[in-house]
Chain A
Amino acid sequence: MSGQGEGMRDTVTDEGYMTADGRKIGGVAMEMRNITLRFGGVVAIKDISFDIRWGEIRAIIGPNGAGKSSMLNVISGFYHPQEGEVIYKGYKRPAMRPYQVAQQGIARTFQNIALFEGMSVLDNIMTGRLHHMKANMFQQAIWWGRAAREEAENRAQVEKIIDFLEIQHIRKTPVSRLPYGLKKRVELARALAAEPAILLLDEPMAGMNVEEKEDMCRFILDVNDEFGTTTVLIEHDMGVVMDLSDRVVVMDYGKKIGDGTPDEVRNNQEVINAYLGVAHD
């Protein structure tokens, strides 16, 4: 292990590495191996491999249509790649439905907010805890014992997250009445309520103003800090990505063109070409 002294990053080993700000990153949580995803004739993702480590903030960036959201959808089990495999916690993940993936501790937010508009903020966040609630239908029907107890316990957990994200005042408001920025925050709350092992954020700052972005950045860092949640995020705002993330995957036209620390990626010629364009002559 070398390089710690100068505040440089460790070489990434199997056991993990140390970040610039001194956080210890663990071993491999999830590994994508040679993922290829096609829609009919269109290749959305072409032979991409990378890994996600316990405790790190991992960003996926790339121009529009690069296949970032498709990648996230592969991780959350919504799309099933034609080739390649997903290794999670050391085992190859079999083809499973999205809800099974969620039950394995992978929670996410969506690019276009996907809250349940007909429910209150509290109920929305409570849906994040569904797989922590085990009471069966009959226990719930008579609302006795386990069902009532579980409801109160999980409510207490949810209230912690409500406090953490500072949304106490809108607890009982119907989600449909909230402004955009708050909706994004409620969505994060719902994902956090699941106490996920890996948190997927699909453009968490899209369409926000500077102040809201700063708030969101703080929340993402705090979440990582407080709960040690492994976070994978897609984001367009370069400044945000470089500040937030420990390692970055760069995609372009469905291919991986770069992978490494923000500094490494910034200096990668291919990445520069993809973002700034290159004269084809």
Chain B
Amino acid sequence: MPDTLLFALEASLNGLTAGVMYALVALGFVLIFKASGIFNFAQGVLALFAALTLVGFQSGQIPFSHLINATLGTRLHHFGWNMPTVLAIPATVLVMIGLAILVERFILKHLINQEPIILFMATIGLAYFLEGFGDIMWGAEVKALDVGLPKGMSMAVDDATFNWFGYGFYIDRLEIWAAGIAAVLVAVLTVFSQYTKQGRALRAVADDHQAALSVGISLRFIWVLTWSIAGIVALVAGIMWGSKSGVQFSLSLIALKALPVLILGGFTSIPGAIVGGLIIGVGEKLFDFFMNPIIGGATENWFAYMLALVFLLFRPQGLFGERIIERV
């Protein structure tokens, strides 16, 4: 096999793992969009916030220490203990559920029946708020996140590909794990929505708000539920990305790429989010691989958006969306 092809294959495999990341964030979007018709711009920041909280709990940081120090002149930093990961993760989940309740109580409840665009802008506001809030609560410096996932080059992949092609691929074990965990997450979500009472209620609301209300489903409960699930999905995304490149603000920018993923996959399709994420992840790596010598690097910055733009021109409803028939 020619070398270029092998390199391209390796690049696209690396892209797949970035794609899993995009898909996870997009998944959070889709869940909320299906249940409430809200285009949740804050999903990326939610992942950042979850990761920050997790690191904070793990390392025993005192929340708002920076703020307390500035106002009271104290020198607080840490409680002095480290929380084990098995405790820190459930604690973070609780925080995300609490956040979901607050979001419902203070934002969504007041914006019922507003136009989608207003709700969208409210989530942009929420994104800003959470970003500032997370920084104030836990500090803005880049933090390392380690939940005990294996890291480093996967020898098995290296050996196997070396035996097949005579060239060992470099794949991080963390990324293989990430893909596995994402798959499990999607499976769990599917089971939840198919076989539990809450899951059915969720699907009912997604289908028709009014009808769901009329059979006695509490819309507010469903919203808290979906935002909680979205928060947990965000936590998983945050853990993946944080383990790989540290918990930092750029996480929320990377999450912006979930937007073109949604365009490709359609706003309401979970398989769409996953396939879209993988396409974008692989596509941007391959594009960079082939175009770098011609137009220069860092095309990842815009490739996803341009791909979405071009795609939209030919199929405005997304890969899995239904054709829109306009009526008067």
Q: Indicate, yes or no, whether A interacts with B.
A: yes
In chain B between 285 and 328, which residues have their CB closer than 8 angstroms to a CB of chain A?
Answer: 325, 328
Interface residues of B (CB under 8 A from A): 325, 328
State whether the Cβ of A39 lies closer than 8 Å to any Cβ in chain B: yes
Are A73 and B328 within 8 A (Cβ)?
yes
8 contacting pairs across A/B (C-beta < 8 A):
A39-B325, A69-B328, A73-B328, A78-B328, A110-B328, A111-B328, A112-B328, A114-B328
Instruction: Label chain B's interface by main secondary structure.
Output: loop
Could you tell me how many residues of chain A have their Cβ less than 8 Å away from some Cβ of chain B?
8
Over the window 2-43 of chain A, the binary record of Cβ atoms lying under 8 Å from chain B Cβ atoms (1 yes, 0 no) is: 000000000000000000000000000000000000010000
B328 — which chain A residues lie within 8 A by C-beta?
Answer: 69, 73, 78, 110-112, 114
Residues of B contacting A39 with CB < 8 Å? 325
Beyond A69-B328, A110-B328, 5 additional pairs, beta carbon < 8 A:
A39-B325, A73-B328, A78-B328, A111-B328, A112-B328
Return chain B residues, CB-CB under 8 Å to A73: 328
**A114 to B327 Cα, complex, angstroms:** 11
Q: Which residue of A lies closest to B328 (CB)?
A: A110
Return the 5 tightest CB-CB contacts between A and B, nearest first.
A110-B328, A78-B328, A73-B328, A114-B328, A39-B325
B-contact 0/1 string along A66-99, CB 8 Å cutoff? 0001000100001000000000000000000000
Complex alpha-carbon distance, A112 and B325, angstroms: 17
Distance (whole angstroms) from the CB of B326 to the closest CB of chain A? 8
Residue of B nearest to A202 (CB): B328
- Report the separation of the CA atoms of residues A140 and B328 in the bound assembly, to the nearest whole angstrom: 31
Distance between Cα atoms of A114 and B325 in the complex (Å): 17
Report the bound CA distance from A69 to B325 in whole Å.
15
CA A111 – CA B328 in complex, angstroms? 8
Complex contacts, A110 vs chain B, CB 8 Å:
328
| In the complex, residue of chain A having the shortest beta-carbon distance to the beta carbon of B326 | A78
Interface 1/0 per residue, A83-125 and B, CB below 8 Å: 0000000000000000000000000001110100000000000
Cα–Cα distance between A110 and B327 once the two chains are bound (Å): 11
Chain B residue, CB-CB nearest to A78 = B328
